[in-house]
Copies of this chain bind each other. A is one copy, B any other.
Amino acid sequence: MNELATIETLLFVAGDDGLSLKQISSVLEITTQHAYQLLMTLQKEYELAQDRGLMIMEVGDTYQLATKKEYAEIIKKFAVSPLTTSLSQASLETLAIIAYKQPITRMEIDEIRGVQTTGALQKILMRGLIEEKGRVDGPGRAILYGTTKYFMDYFGLKDMAELPSIAEIELPEEEMTSDLFYDRFQQLEEVEAVDEQEEPSDDINLFNIEE
């Protein structure tokens, strides 16, 4: 075990929280002076090594690992690369709901999707596809979202009516649930019917009704 390597791992694990000299000295059971010397040695090693992209940054009285300044541009490139920023299903659904139902609040989107949407909304905002379109009147004054001009340009739309119609696939809420119970009922009867046929009399292994 190597002291420099140990400090490297501790810095790595500590992340943005940073690591104080006191922490290093207590984990390694060395004096803070010694800890400081090691830290400086590691810092110098990073600095001199051409094939190292990391550095040690001092923040307040803690130290943390960071990437060297000269690699900021490439990280920026990575950050906006389509492979890094591809739109998830959640983002697409959120975008679709906003496109069809705008202006709409986050709460309403959550309700339609049946799950929380926070992260996805952030992502499509960042892609410039949606924007704030004012606020709801009344208490809470929730933000209303709608699609942007960039959205129209990107999809080559003159008018939102040019989006494929959802009238046919969209059923009112109650209709949908009753339909659902009907489906269940049907399923259950089907299973029973099948079982009755296949199992003549004594073997009563009907345990699979649930699947």
Contact = CB atoms under 8 A, between A and B. Distances in A.
B81 A27 contact: yes
Contacts of A105: 211
A53 B83 contact: no
Interface stretch (A6-14, A150-158, A165-173): A6-14
Interface in A108-164: 136, 139-142
B208 A53 contact: no
A59 interface: no
B5 A187 contact: no
A52 B5 contact: yes
Nearest to A67: B9
A45 interface: yes
B83 A22 contact: yes
Interface string A58-79: 0000000101101100110111
B211 A53 contact: no
**This chain: how many copies in the complex?**
2
A33 interface: no
A1 to B, nearest CB: 6
A4 interface: yes
A50 B136 contact: no
A9 B67 CA distance: 6
Contacts of A81: 23, 26-27
* A12, A81, A186, A191 pick with most chain B CB within 10 angstroms: A12
Contacts of A65: 12
Contact of A10 (B14, B51, B74, B139): B74
Contacts of A97: none
B74 A1 contact: yes
26 contacts: A1-B70, A2-B50, A5-B50, A5-B71, A6-B53, A8-B54, A9-B67, A9-B74, A10-B75, A10-B78, A12-B67, A13-B67, A20-B83, A23-B83, A26-B83, A27-B74, A27-B77, A27-B81, A28-B74, A107-B211, A136-B211, A139-B188, A139-B211, A140-B187, A140-B191, A140-B210
